[in-house]
Amino acid sequence: AQSVSQHNHHVILSEAASLELGCNYSYGGTVNLFWYVQYPGQHLQLLLKYFSGDPLVKGIKGFEAEFIKSKFSFNLRKPSVQWSDTAEYFCAVRPPGTYKYIFGTGTRLKVLA
């Protein structure tokens, strides 16, 4: 079945550690890719998105993601996390020819001060 996979369900890091969260999708064709973040008690908000062009996308709060078409991946990275990055992170895909957005199961990140 077509899907979006996030391999890390829970991640615990110390402040200043580097972060990489995996996201793989199984849709062919031209997809739009997104990373959302949900801070405790807050709305889901967009971190970054990719729809064409440079496969390395920069988002808010120092986050970036790299689209690797051959690997069907869109991994999220941050060189040095902060305690305030504690949140749940969701990868999402908008497959071609549809208004649907398909979400992964999310990764809960906890950053220790």
Partner 1 sequence: DGGITQSPKYLFRKEGQNVTLSCEQNLNHDAMYWYRQDPGQGLRLIYYSQIVNDFQKGDIAEGYSVSREKKESFPLTVTSAQKNPTAFYLCASSPSDRTYEQYFGPGTRLTVT
Instruction: Note the residues at the interface with partner 1 (CB under 8 A).
Output: 6, 9, 32, 34, 36, 43-46, 49, 51-52, 90, 92, 94, 99-106
CB closer to partner 1, 52 vs 70: 52
DSSP H/E element including 90: strand 87-94
Separation of alpha carbons 37 and 40, rounded Å: 10
| Residues, the chain | 113
CB closer to partner 1, 50 vs 85: 50
Using CB atoms within 10 A of its CB, is residue 63 exposed (0-12), middle (13-18) or buried (19+)? buried
Task: Give the nearest distance from C-beta 69 to partner 1 in angstroms.
Answer: 17
CB closer to partner 1, 83 vs 101: 101
Task: Give the bridge partners for 57, in sequence order.
Answer: 65
Task: Give the nearest distance from C-beta 80 to partner 1 in angstroms.
Answer: 25
